[in-house]
Structure 1
Amino acid sequence: MTKAVLIGPPGSGKTTVGRLLSERLGVTCRDTDADVEAVAGKSVSDIFIEDGEERFRELEAAAVRAALDEHDGVVSLGGGAVLDERTQELLSGHTVVYLEVGLSQAVQRVGLGTARPLLVFNPRSRLKQLMEQRRPIYERLATIKVNTDDREPEAVVDEIVKELAR
């Protein structure tokens, strides 16, 4: 069973916090976007452009399922992975950490000239829309919620470790 599964929108710090949290816990971190890229042999952006979002979501759901079945460390999910109902069911029983971030901080972190495929056109408006759409799902799935605004990743990890110890 995984130690923690990190969820949240783009710019919430899932990759950075996942790496630091896994180091702190003495386990490895698995990023499902990296798993998708390894299977597809191309970047997430290229998958979206060449194969479409539907194909990406299929690969993502399979990567999440495999990570939750096989990995006993920290798992970082792509921001939209929680949209899949099967993924939502798979997360039941896991320690799910929602990394919450405000729009202005998320925009600063992802940048407006981003290579993130869902943020190509009008990135600020699109990011706001994605965050509003997904927030209720993140909140429902979370067993731990940590706000990352104006905080160093190490402080976020400190809070998660304290919550995990409870």
Structure 2
Amino acid sequence: MIVLIGPMGSGKTTVGGLLAARLGTSVRDTDHDVEATAGRAISEIFVDEGEEVFRALERAAVAEALATHDGVLALGGGAVLDPDTRALLAGHDVVFLRVGLSDAVKRVGLGTSRPLLLGNVRGRIKALLDERTPIYESVATLAVETDGREPDDVADEIVAALGARA
């Protein structure tokens, strides 16, 4: 299993699909799992029930996916904030897709469907990058730069770096 982590706009979903195709396996996204379980969009969960409820759903989705999925797994940007989730990642190939502020803002756009970006999008993304980057780095077994790169090139680098371990 390859687990992709990183902030919103780093390309986890896109690169995950490309990796799965290259490796002849499936891709799973825990954000999609949370939405399927809850029966509504993540933004609605945040508004209706708050971030704490969303994080509990996310924690359960990640634990279940790590236990049952053997392909490529893309985690939500904040999943690694949970210490239990970080502990579950030990022993897995965890790839941190690093993205800078400028590229993240371009990729995310106005962030209307992203509840953590309400208000000043650029400022919120910068704060999230500053807060979360050390956590991503602490759990990653591989970090890959995505700024100014095509998703295909990022996927190729991951396959080359992980080689036979994938």
TM-score (norm: length of structure 1): 0.97
Specify the SS of the correspondent of 2:149.
coil
Give the residue type in structure 1 aligned to 2:132. R
Establish whether residue 106 from structure 1 lines up as the match of residue 134 from structure 2.
no
Q: CA deviation at 1:123?
A: 1.1
Give the residue type in structure 1 aligned to 2:131. Q
Q: CA RMSD in A?
A: 0.8
Give the residue type in structure 2 aligned to 1:84. D
Specify the SS of the correspondent of 1:6.
strand
The match for 1:47 is 45
Q: CA deviation at 1:113?
A: 4.6
Establish whether residue 141 from structure 1 lines up as the match of residue 139 from structure 2.
yes
Structure 1 unaligned blocks of 5 or more: none
What CA deviation, in whole Å up to 9, does each residue of 1:78-118 have, x standing for no partner?
A: 00000000000000000000000000000000002531010
TM-score (norm: length of structure 2): 0.97
The match for 1:117 is 115
Specify the SS of the correspondent of 1:27.
coil
The match for 2:27 is 29
CA distance in 1, matches of 2:99, 2:19: 18
Give the residue type in structure 1 aligned to 2:37. V
CA distance in 1, matches of 2:50, 2:13: 23
CA distance in 2, matches of 1:28, 1:87: 21
Over the matched positions of the two proteins, sequence identity in percent amounts to: 63
